[in-house]
Structures are given as structure tokens and as C-alpha cells.
Structure 1
Amino acid sequence: MLVDFFLHLRARGVKTSLQEFLVLLEALRLNVAGYSIDDFYLLARTTLIKDETQFDRFDLAFGEYFKGIEALPGMETGIPEEWLRQAAKRLLSDEERAALEKLGWDKLMETLQQRLAEQKERHAGGNKWIGTGGSSPFGHGGTHPEGVRIGGRSENRSAVKVWEKREFKNLDDSVELGTRNIQVALRRLRRFAREGAAEELDLDGTIDGTARNAGWLDLKLRPERHNAVKVLLFLDVGGSMDDHIATCATLFSACRNEFKHLEYYYFHNCVYEHVWRDNVRRRTERTPTVDVLHRYGRDYKLIFVGDATMSPYEIVHPGGSVEHDNAEPGAVWLSRLSDAFPHAVWLNPEPEAHWPYRESISLIRQLLGGRMFPLSVDGLTRGMRELSKA
């Protein structure tokens, strides 16, 4: 299995050598790490990766290879209890799913507080207590369509709130574009100006100056032309956006190449009172959103990139954020940003045909006056045309 894992990493472009793989095997032989997948992940990344710019690519390849595995099979005498519990999770029919009650925000929070006070032991597979699996609206790995997920990842992405510390990776801005279509679409957003120290030869001016100077060479230079458009990019990362990392990284790389005046920030699901520039330091080096509002002028073009797929509470309800108790709803901050930067669009990597079935997408489209476009070549073309309007 580990040889296949090593070959999988190499196939995904991760720069690791056979010597580093042998170090990993030796560390496993000496029981440096336990048998959980988390322990193995840390050991594998430490031994196999020597360049931190490869961390994100390693994480993607690792997650793809070990998806759904919580322990290394064949390296322990017993099957992990949690693995058995997840495998035995009760599957519901469509009718049973439809019959599950949606409690609503206030009732959901009230009920959770009651369960925390009453519950005295661990539970799994039920429909009431906080635990794993089952159809209870509280816990991890369950099937309730609207609830509070506490830790871990789940196939059900409609949780109202997620109590989990998650780390997101920065987008790779050095991606080599397989196609130039995205850059061609972005070039519709152009306004050239001559600025900066770089200069180019003014051939007509040189000829005219030389003629006027009795044949003595008189070089004339002029500043190089630059795209003077100013772009403020807000990128959603983590959660359901993990499905769109490659597309967003390509877009980000194209923007870095195309726009001389580019400022960017990250957010998760919806914009609140803080954004950040580095996902590794997102908990310690955050930028108040109000500072962004005052730092950049109204001439900046504002571009949001995100799937807008979340619980509607995250947009319209105080405390609805999946990661903290936000004092003001996300809708308030989105409105402030669109007022401060009137030329704004939202680019959505989700297929446009899916939008009518997501309440959160409809809410954000309404907040931005319908200026949401799919993250496709056609959608980019339409979005850049919208931003180019005076």
C-alpha cells in the first residue's frame, strides 16, 4: 500500500525521492508515529516533503489517496472502533430523509444546550444524543439535513454550524496555465496607462528628434504601458471550496499575471468582520474588514470568488458563522463592501444550473444585484464586461 502511495504522490507532481521514502519506512519500523491516519500524515509530510511550497500539493494528493480511511490497515491487530461505527452508520431512504425535522436556528441552539447538560456518556448511531453517525442533528458523520456538526468532515455539507478548528492552505499563484482562455477573458478588463520606471523606445520620436538635431542621434524613450485597472480579489477557501481548488488556483495565477494593481484577501463561506492574507496565519494575522473598506478607493474593481454554498444562517443571522459568533450577519458586510466598491461581481465555480436550488446562492445574488457569474470562460467574459461598465 505504501509503495502505491509513493507512486501516487509522484504521479500528482509531488517532488519527493526514493531516499525520502526509505526514511519514512524506517520511521514506521521504529514506531515513530502511531497507527492513526493523522499521525501518519504528519510523519509522511515531515519525511517526504522538504520544500514548504509542496505542502498544498502533498495535502491534496494525500487526501485523495486516503479518503475515508481513519487508520492504516494491516498495521494493527484490531479494526479501529470509529471505523466500524462509521461503516455501520444507518442509511436512510429518501422518505426518511424528508421526514427529518428542521428545527430552525433558535430551537436548534436551545436544544443543543439541553443535550449538553443532560448527556453523560458517548453515543453513536442514534437520533437524539450528541455522537457519531445516526440522524441526530448534533455530532459528526450523521445524516440530518440541518444540524450542528462537531468536529471532523462529513459528506453532508448543509450543517448550520461546524464546531471544528480547520486549517486552510493558500492558493498556489505559480500554477502553469494549461490554457490561456482565462487570461484572454481577464484582458477584457483593461485600461492602459504609461507609468513606472520601465521605459521603451519611442521610435517615431527618436526619428523626429534626430532629424531636428542635424542627424545627431537623439533617443526618445517613453514609459512602458501597464494595465492600470485596480482589482480587489476576495477568495473563499476551505469546506466545499476544496472541490474547486484547481480552478481557483488557475484563476488566481492568471490574475497575478494580468493585473499590476492586485490586492487579495481570503475568507470562508461569507465575509464577516475579518479577512486574511495568509491561511497559515489566519488566526493570528487577520485584517479587519473595515480597514479594507477605508484602505482602497472606489476605483478598485471588487471580485468575489466562491461557491456561495452554505447555510442561509451564515448570511442573514448574527452568530450564524460556522467558525465564530459574528456580531453582525454576513449580509451586512457584503452590503458594505458592494457600497464601498460599486463595481463588484461574484464568480461562482458551481454550475449555473445548480444555482436555483441553493438558497444561499439566491441570497448572495440578490445582495449583489444579480451580478453573479459562473467561473467559466463565458462567465468570466460576462463578468469582466460588467466590471468594465463606467
Structure 2
Amino acid sequence: MLTDFFLHLKASKIPVSTTEFLTLLEALQAGVTAPSIDDFYILARATLVKDESHYDKFDRAFGVFFRGVTELPGLEADIPEDWLRRVMQRHLSPEEKAKLEKLGWDKLMEEFRKRLEEQKEHHSGGSKWIGTGGSSPFGAHGYHPEGIRVGPESAGNRTAVKVWEQRQYRNLDDSVELGTRNIKVALRRLRRFAREGAAEELDLDGTISATARNAGWLDLRMRPERHNTVKVLIFFDVGGSMDDHIKVCEELFSAVRGEFKHLEYFYFHNCVYESVWRDNARRFASKRPLLDVLHTYGPDYKLIIVGDATMSPYEIMVPGGSVEHYNEEPGAAWLRRLLDAYPSACWINPEHEPGWSYRQSITLIRQIMADRMFPLTIDGLERAMRQLSRKR
């Protein structure tokens, strides 16, 4: 397996050598690390990657090779894998879909608990039990307007309010070459923040010329610092429905990294909660408390949140509504804390603006953001930058 991993890294254009691979094998043989995937990740990166610039490529290659579902802590019920395999997928007509009723958050959770206790065999195509291809609120590859997806693959309806699996996302690539300079041009509107009180740097050519004209007496000449001195704090939504927008988000990430000298970024999923993270490959092991972020970066930072705001309304308004963990406070409470800490804020949405009114979650987020939501288009970015440039 390790030989295949080594060849996989080389195929991913990561410059690993046989000598480094032998060092990894020697370290494993000597037992320098515990037998866990997290410890192996640290050891493999330390021995195989010579340059920090290849860390992102290594993380992506590692995630692809060792991709898999592991047991989530706190879930005691063990549902056999063959119960969740796609045996059949039932196709419902629009009329049949309209007849299916939403249970509501409390009833949905209670009914799921009962199914876990009562169900003893696999079901497929039904409307009650945990299974596949049916109209039950619990299972995979079927349809229900509000349910709990159990299993590692979505049927594409994206109506689940909870997901019973451990999902892995990948980091956005900030080295993507943009097909257009328009995004950078739109972002440069924020440079008006740096015009007053901007730092200066030595103009070497101007200093030499001025000194020569001044009969050799030193005449220092300064010029405004070329780089944008605006401070930006940006949060990227990853995974789930955001997979449809990876390319444009990577282009935006590349432009932001190139335009702003003082940039801090974090990832979240669907809605911002009590913790965020920097590395999707390590998001369960290295989360950062959001309160720590609020205390580290001052109110002079400009807040940008990038996400499609497409989720269950419970994730925004209800404690425990997150699809991946139990959140003691609703997402709306954490969003308001962010807005209180950073008055200059906006939300960038990659979904088409004409469809926003059809999503209840987007409507809720827009209300919390005081309508400071803009589409991820050139015009939308320009409007967002004008919003951030207003003095408060």
C-alpha cells in the first residue's frame, strides 16, 4: 500500500524521491509514531515533502489516497453497509413529492431514534425505515423534502437537514491561474482604505537621483507602499452544495491572496458556528474557536463570507441544527457575533441572484446580514467592495 502511495504522490507531481520514501519506511519500522492516520500524515509530510510550497498538493493527494468514512464519536448504532448500498432508486413524480410532508425538527429527531432502536433488517424503496431509494425521511438515494441522509453518497436532492457520515473536504487552491483579471480589478476598489495613512517604502532610484542633484548630500525619497494595506478576514464555505462552485471560489481565493497583504482566511461548512479551521484535511483535529478569531483580529479587518447560504433553516435558527455536529447555539447567534466584531462586512454568494428568493435559508442569511449579500459576479464584487468602502 505504501508503494502505491509513493507512486500516487509522484503522479500528483510532488517531487518525492526514493531516499525520502526509505526514510519514511525506516521511521515506521522504528515505531516513531502511533498507528493512527493523523500521526502518519504528520510523519509522511515531514519525511517526503522538502518544500512548504508543496504542502497543499500533498494534502490533496493524501486526502484522495486515504479517503474513507470512519466512525463518528457518539453514534452508537451500527448500520450495516449493505443496508445503504444503492440497490434501486425510486423516481417520484412532482405530484408524489408534493404529498410528502415535512416532520419538523423535534419529530424528525425522535422518529430517527425510534428507527435505530426498532429496525432489524435492510429495506429498500419504502417510506418508513432506514434504507435506500424510497421516500423515507431516513436513508440514502431516495427523496424526502426534509430528512436525515445516512450514507456516504448523496442522490443530489440536497434536502437533508442532517448527514450521518464523516465527510472530507479539500482546501481551495490559491495558485489557480485566473482566466480573467476582472476579479482582481473589482477587488482593487478596496484600496481606497489604504490611501490615508498608508505605509511608505524607500524609493531607491528617486533617492539616488535626488542625492546626485544635491551634490552628494543624502536626500531620501519615499513612495507609498505598493501593496494593498487593507486588512481582510475571509471565510469560505466548503463541501456539500459548494462543490458546484469550487472553480470560481478558487479563482476568487487566488485573486484575494494576490491583492491583499494583510489577509486571514478560514473555512466553515454551511453556516459559521463555534469553530472554524484552516486546513480541510485536518479540520477535525485542528479546529480554531471562533471566539479566539474574534479576539485575535481587530475591528479594522473587513469581513467577507463566501458561501451559497443553501442549507436547512434549522442550521441557522435551531441549537443542534448543524448537519455535522451538535451546536449548542444556532448559527444565527455566531453570525451576529461576527457582524458585531466587524462592522464592515458582506456575504458573497456564488448562486445565481434571481434564485435567491426561492431559498428560505438565503432569505434568513440576507436578513441577518442586513441585505449585504452580493452575487459572485464582477458586478456583484464591485457592489460588495463599494459596500465595504463605506465609512461607519
Give TM-score scaled by structure 2 length: 0.77
Name the CA shift for 1:81/1:317 in 2 (closer, same or farther; >3 Å). Answer: closer
* Offset at residue 168 of structure 1 (A): 0.7
Name the CA shift for 1:173/1:158 in 2 (closer, same or farther; >3 Å). Answer: same
Alignment partner, residue 122 of structure 1: 122
Tell me if 1:133 matches 2:100.
no
Task: Determine which of 173, 191, 195 is the counterpart of 2:199.
Answer: 195
Tell me if 1:101 matches 2:105.
no
Q: Which piece of structure 1 moves more, 257-266 or 156-165?
A: 156-165
Q: How many angstroms apart in 1 are the aligned matches of 2:116 and 2:208? A: 81
Letter in structure 1 aligned against 2:292: D
Tell me if 1:373 matches 2:377.
no
Tell me if 1:280 matches 2:281.
yes
> Number of residues paired by the alignment?
327
Name the CA shift for 1:113/1:210 in 2 (closer, same or farther; >3 Å). Answer: same
* Offset at residue 312 of structure 1 (A): 0.4
Structure 1 residue runs without a partner (length 5+): 1-8, 17-49, 63-79
- Secondary structure of the 1:114 match is helix
Name the CA shift for 1:144/1:55 in 2 (closer, same or farther; >3 Å). Answer: farther
- Secondary structure of the 2:273 match is coil
Alignment partner, residue 233 of structure 1: 234
- Secondary structure of the 1:188 match is helix
Deviations 1:170-207 (A, max 9, x none): 100111111100000000011245537x632363x665
Give TM-score scaled by structure 1 length: 0.77
Name the CA shift for 1:60/1:247 in 2 (closer, same or farther; >3 Å). Answer: farther
Q: How many angstroms apart in 2 are the aligned matches of 1:360 and 1:61? A: 31
Alignment partner, residue 321 of structure 2: 320
Q: How many angstroms apart in 1 are the aligned matches of 2:303 and 2:383? A: 15
Name the CA shift for 1:299/1:194 in 2 (closer, same or farther; >3 Å). Answer: closer
Deviations 1:186-243 (A, max 9, x none): 00011245537x632363x6655544x4x22635242651311100000000111011
* Offset at residue 57 of structure 1 (A): 7.4
The answer as to whether partners of 1:298 and 1:342 remain within 8 angstroms in 2 is yes
Alignment partner, residue 305 of structure 2: 304
Deviations 1:93-123 (A, max 9, x none): 0000000011000111111111111111121
- Secondary structure of the 2:189 match is coil
Alignment partner, residue 356 of structure 2: 355
* Offset at residue 142 of structure 1 (A): 1.4
Sequence identity, in percent? 61
Alignment partner, residue 91 of structure 1: 91
Structural RMSD (CA): 2.9
The answer as to whether partners of 2:127 and 2:136 remain within 8 angstroms in 1 is yes
Tell me if 1:150 matches 2:153.
no
- Secondary structure of the 1:156 match is coil
- Secondary structure of the 2:115 match is helix
Letter in structure 2 aligned against 1:199: L
Alignment partner, residue 339 of structure 2: 338
The answer as to whether partners of 1:194 and 1:223 remain within 8 angstroms in 2 is no
Q: How many angstroms apart in 1 are the aligned matches of 2:323 and 2:287? A: 17
Letter in structure 2 aligned against 1:172: D
